[in-house]
């Protein structure tokens, strides 16, 4: 239109909207502040890794405290030796002829078993030392020592071939126990106790991933560790195969089997009873080596039995079947 050539029309200005622009993070007072780098998982208080870190640090502190306490205690156990603590385990060890290097007593004797140990130690020329209960607490890692402990050479394991041969030479039907990756020394000690109670000729354990005969195992076994030989084998599967060649049947305990240990027809035969770790059970190769796998019927409210309890029940069942068979034969 004439006369309007210079009129400026409406022009939309770019970026005229108020507020922060996309991607800018805002401006001046409205700008966003970054949180910095993401903390490690173990430093985030809500993360599971943080709980594991705290548990690890607590364990390290406990170990350091034990190390500091041991540095101050008067009981120094040299390498290649160990302590047996508790009145029954100590007395059983002495009766079994285990050589004693030293006897540690806290307080007055006041017990026939302790006096027996002191007399036996004197006969061997081993010194009897009076120590505090705190010394024994530290030296035995808090075990129930009942005021007495003896220092002995490290446990001497029985040769595997010797264990098998000795079992076959016994008057009764041979019976061995094998533990597959049972790492708790309390379980090993309890198995030794059950083995002694129900006539087993010995126990086999693998060298790796397995508890050994330690002070704890001695204590829990209530002295059975001095009577029941234990063999440490390099390869448990190979050892079981050698037992089969020697005339043994290998029976595994596993909760997944449909055959009850009460219905075990092999109970009266030369037997190796194999128990796996709680939860994990028998390893695949060990299970495949077994002639038969049996289970112990339990309530559905309980997921599984630990290795020591399961072994004790199975040994009792085997001993019962053998007793009945022996009685029937004698009649």
In DSSP terms, 231 is beta-bridged to 204
pLDDT at 68: 59
C-alpha–C-alpha distance, residues 49 and 88, integer Å: 44
**CA distance linking residue 103 with residue 131, whole number of Å:** 10
Q: What is the arrangement of strands in the sheet containing 292-294, beginning at the earlier edge strand? A: 230-233, 202-206, 175-180, 271-276, 249-253, 292-294
Report the greatest alpha carbon distance in the chain: 139
Compute the distance between CA of residue 312 and CA of residue 24 in angstroms, rounded to an integer. 73
Tokens of 171: 């008057």
How would residue 83 be classed by pLDDT, with cut points 50, 70 and 90? Answer: confident
- Residue 164: predicted pLDDT: 92
What rounded mean pLDDT belongs to the chain? 80
Residue 179, token pair as written in the block = 């533990």
Both tokens of 95, joined, read 């009766």
Tell me the torsion sign for CA atoms 140, 144, 149, 154.
negative
- H or E stretch at 275: strand 271-276
Share of the chain above pLDDT 90, in %: 18
Residue 299 above 80 pLDDT? no
Q: Is the Cβ–Cβ distance between 240 and 288 less than 8 Å?
A: no
Among 17-31, 164-178, 269-283, 302-316, which is the least confidently predicted range? 17-31
Predicted pLDDT of residue 218: 77
* Chain segment 185-239, per-residue pLDDT in tens: 889 989 999 999 898 999 999 988 888 887 778 778 877 887 889 999 999 999 9
**pTM reported for the whole predicted model:** 0.67
């Amino acid at each position: 239109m004439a006369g309007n050539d210079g009129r400026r029309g409406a022009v939309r200005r770019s970026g005229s909207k108020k507020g922060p622009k996309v991607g800018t993070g805002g401006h001046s007072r409205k700008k966003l502040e970054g949180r910095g780098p993401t903390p490690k998982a173990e430093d985030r208080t809500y993360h599971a890794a943080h709980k594991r870190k705290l548990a690890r640090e607590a364990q390290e502190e406990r170990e350091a405290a034990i190390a500091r306490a041991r540095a101050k205690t008067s009981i120094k156990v040299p390498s290649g030796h160990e302590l047996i603590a508790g009145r029954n385990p100590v007395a059983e060890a002495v009766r079994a002829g285990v050589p004693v290097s030293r006897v540690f007593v806290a307080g007055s004797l006041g017990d026939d078993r302790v006096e027996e140990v002191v007399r036996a130690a004197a006969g061997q020329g081993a010194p009897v030392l009076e120590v505090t209960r705190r010394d024994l607490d530290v030296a035995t890692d808090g075990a129930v020592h009942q005021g007495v402990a003896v220092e002995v050479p490290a446990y001497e394991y029985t040769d595997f071939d010797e264990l098998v041969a000795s079992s076959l030479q016994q008057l009764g039907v041979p019976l061995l126990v094998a533990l597959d990756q049972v790492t708790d020394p309390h379980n090993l000690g309890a198995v030794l106790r059950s083995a002694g109670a129900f006539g087993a000729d010995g126990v086999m354990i693998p060298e790796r991933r397995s508890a050994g005969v330690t002070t704890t195992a001695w204590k829990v076994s209530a002295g059975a560790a001095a009577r029941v030989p234990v063999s440490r084998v390099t390869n448990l599967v190979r050892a079981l195969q050698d037992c089969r060649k020697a005339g043994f049947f290998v029976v595994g305990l596993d909760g997944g089997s449909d055959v009850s240990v009460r219905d075990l027809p092999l109970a009266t035969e030369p037997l190796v009873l194999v128990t796996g770790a709680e939860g994990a059970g028998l390893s695949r190769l060990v299970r495949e080596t077994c002639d038969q796998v049996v289970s112990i019927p339990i309530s559905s409210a309980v997921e599984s039995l630990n290795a020591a309890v399961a072994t004790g029940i199975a040994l009792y069942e085997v001993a019962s079947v053998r007793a009945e068979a022996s009685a029937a034969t004698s009649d």
